[in-house]
Homo-oligomer: A and B are copies of this chain.
């Protein structure tokens, strides 16, 4: 694997919705050049949040201005609550007010919340406007900025309102990762490890050997991000609208989402990537419990996630968790239950995940009860 930290390009071949993902240092400063090479429009609307704006909005706006691009910007509150109609409406009006037309674009500068909300607004403004992702968290760079899922939350659940709207370009500036807190970086790393666990055991082994270099930055980090984006792009190209294979990307997410719901999305207790980390270990342990995979696989997965500093057990979540029955209800709300069975991502070994659509809820419930901290205590 390459040692020089240059910009990597991944092409996502989705027919007339094909686009490039660029990964490397300094991409915010050269954003306008990359955009102008792909879009003829000269009007842009930039959407960001109040944490990201002080760091990166000015360099981006300057880059755009130098390229003769007239841009307006909107700065939203940071945090999951921003993914709501309340904030979507003014973003739509900003886009329409900027008279964004066919060859112009809407730019999301931020993490997953900003990317999801802005992508949705771009997807519905004039029934679909061009859209550029500039993800500023590791999680957004390796996961949410790629693949076209956009949306907001509803009182009925997360991401329940949205559209599939592919970006026209993704600029993953790896310099921005230096400003992330270690906890935030680790949370994103859980999604990186996930790609290995889905179907790339060699990548997982490489992460086990090279994770320190990935955390340190430089070529190994760019390599890990590029491989993650490539893995996600491959799945999205095979199944853009999640009729089948794309569900594999939910490995660890069914348990993880239930834990996020159980902690009321309180980021001081559990952030998304941490939920995914615990959820992936649970998914492997549950697969072992169902005699699908060896317990050794679970042990290996847990050991690596623990080594990088991620939580791997429910008992590590601060505060009280609701009982297993309540966690099970949260799972049943997230996934569709049909005749007492639900769809789950399970595994037959390291990097051998598959979509199981006939998992008995009773088995999940007793597994949750056995692993619940109240019982372990």
Give A contacts to B, CB under 8 Å: 85, 89, 92-93, 96-97, 101-102, 120, 123-128, 149, 151, 154-157, 160-164, 241, 336
B156 touches A97 (CB 8 A): yes
Between-chain CB contacts (< 8 Å), 22 pairs: A85-B85, A85-B89, A93-B156, A96-B156, A96-B157, A97-B156, A101-B336, A120-B124, A124-B151, A124-B161, A124-B162, A125-B160, A125-B161, A126-B160, A126-B161, A127-B149, A127-B151, A127-B162, A128-B163, A128-B164, A128-B241, A163-B163
**Chain A contact residues: helix, strand, loop or mixed:** mixed
* Chain B residue at minimal CB-CB distance from A88: B85
Q: How many copies does the complex hold?
A: 2
Taking CB atoms, residues of chain B closer than 8 Å to A85 are 85, 89
Please give, as numbers and ranges, the residues of chain B lying within 8 Å of A164 by CB-CB distance. 127-128
In the assembled complex, the Cα of A97 lies from the Cα of B163 at a distance in Å of 19
Instruction: Give Cα A92–Cα B84 distance, bound, in whole angstroms.
Output: 12
Within 8 Å CB of A102, what residues of B?
Answer: 336
Chain B residues positioned under 8 Å from A161 (CB to CB): 92, 96, 124-126
Q: Which single residue of chain B is at the shortest CB-CB distance from A101? A: B336
- Nearest CB to that of A154 among chain B residues? B96
Residues of B within 8 A of A124 (CB): 120, 124, 151, 161-163
